[in-house]
Amino acid sequence: MDKRTEKAFLGKARHNLKNPVNAILGYSEMLIEDCEDEGLDHLIPDISKLNQAGTEILTSIEEIFNDKALSDPGKSISTIAEEMEIALRTPLNTIIGYSELLLEDSDSIDIDNFVSDINKITESGKMLEKELSSIIEFDSEDVKGIRKQNLNQGNLSMVKDVLDSINPIDADDKKPKELGNILVVDDNKNNTDLLDKRLSKKGHNVITANNGKEALLRLTTDSDGVDVILLDIVMPEMNGYELLKFIKNDKRFFEIPVIMISSMDDTDSIYRCIEIGADDYITKPFEKSILDARISSCIEKKHLRDKEKKLMRELAEEQKKSENLLLNILPKEIAERLKAGETDIATKHDNVTMLFAD
């Protein structure tokens, strides 16, 4: 691979590893919140260990799979992945072990979806191992010929998808929360389920789509009802960049705020995304408070724009009524001159005597 391709592949690998970590952190946070709501404080320490293990994995991904990793001539994609594999052993064992312990006590736990959420955390841990194996295999000598051929044909989607990745932006000051209709677009069902649960709990109405084409169908069905779109980058059929460009070039949808949410963190594409018209960008895993603030800000702006458009329509209707009333009282020629701002509308001035009597 050339340097640009290696960097792109490293970004894609980082993205694929962060996705399951996002699920581990997200579901464990939700379970902690549920335990606090239900008064099941005795479960919180074990669930917190799942969350801490996820945070440890995320830190390792950031440290090992960084853009400077390949500057060492002794390192390759596969050696970096093997280093990551070693770093994962302890936190992954923690996740699997404590998940099993929590499942053993699940019969006495009165929390909706407790078992399914724990299972999703376990599945996400196994997915991490699978992703690492695929990265090592991809960079092995046995598949280099196939990889080169695919690159020449432009079929290497995992490189193509990350050439213009995005960095996170700093958190803004918190604003009063606004509720609205949110369209979540992500090909990872764990991500859409997690956002659906989290945002619905906040009081939002959530619509989900698993690819760009499905999102367009949701928009065309009820574009007026969507207040903000949460959009992933890497998706099949129509990726996030393509969907964003379509939305911002369509008169029906271009005013809907779009927040990009992705594990991609390369600097090249943040410029491209903002240039296309994205309103914001957040990397996964994300801080809940930051996501809430960004969503609230976008919904507030959308509601203000909607009110402005409604006011303009009402003003136009009132102006039309005034014009019609003026035409009922005065000749059209006189009415037109008044509309044009003329103050002297008489064509001639006769001397007359007027008597006002009571």
In whole angstroms, give the CA distance from residue 269 to residue 292.
24
| Whole-Å CA distances, 179 to 227, 279, 286, 297, 305 | 9, 18, 20, 10, 15
For the chain, which residues make up each domain, given as ranges?
Answer: 3-160, 181-302, 310-339
Residue found under tokens 């009402």: 314
Degrees (nearest 5) of the Cα angle 290, 296, 299? 140
Degrees (nearest 5) of the Cα angle 252, 257, 258? 105
- Cβ contact 163:276 at 8 Å: no
pLDDT on residue 145: 47
Query: Quick one: CA dihedral 284, 289, 295, 298, positive or negative?
Result: negative
Cis status of the peptide bond prior to 285, with omega within 30 of 0: yes
In whole angstroms, give the CA distance from residue 58 to residue 152.
33
CB neighbour burial string for 3-33, b if at least 16 within 10 angstroms, e if fewer: eeebbbbbbbbbbbbbbbbbbbbbbbbbbbe
Reported as type and span, the H/E element at residue 259 is strand 258-262
pTM of the model: 0.63
pLDDT on residue 299: 94
| Whole-Å CA distances, 261 to 30, 168, 294, 328, 335 | 19, 9, 11, 57, 56
- What does the pLDDT profile of the chain (358 residues) look like in tens digits? 566 667 777 777 888 889 899 999 999 999 999 999 888 899 999 999 999 999 999 999 988 888 677 677 777 777 888 888 889 889 999 998 899 888 887 887 878 888 999 999 999 999 988 888 877 776 554 444 444 445 444 335 554 554 444 344 444 544 457 799 999 999 988 889 989 999 999 999 999 999 999 999 999 887 668 999 999 988 888 999 999 999 999 999 999 999 998 877 766 777 788 889 999 988 877 888 889 999 999 999 999 988 998 999 999 888 888 777 777 777 777 777 777 777 776 666 677 787 878 7
| Whole-Å CA distances, 198 to 26, 106, 161, 191 | 9, 22, 28, 11
The correct answer on CATH 3.40.50.2300 for the domain covering 181-302 is yes
Give the helix ranges, DSSP H, for 139-156.
144-153
Sheet of strand 258-262, all strands in order from the earlier edge strand to the far edge: 205-209, 181-185, 228-231, 258-262, 280-283
Q: Is 121 exposed, middle or buried (0-12, 13-18, 19+ CB in 10 A)?
A: buried
pLDDT on residue 164: 46
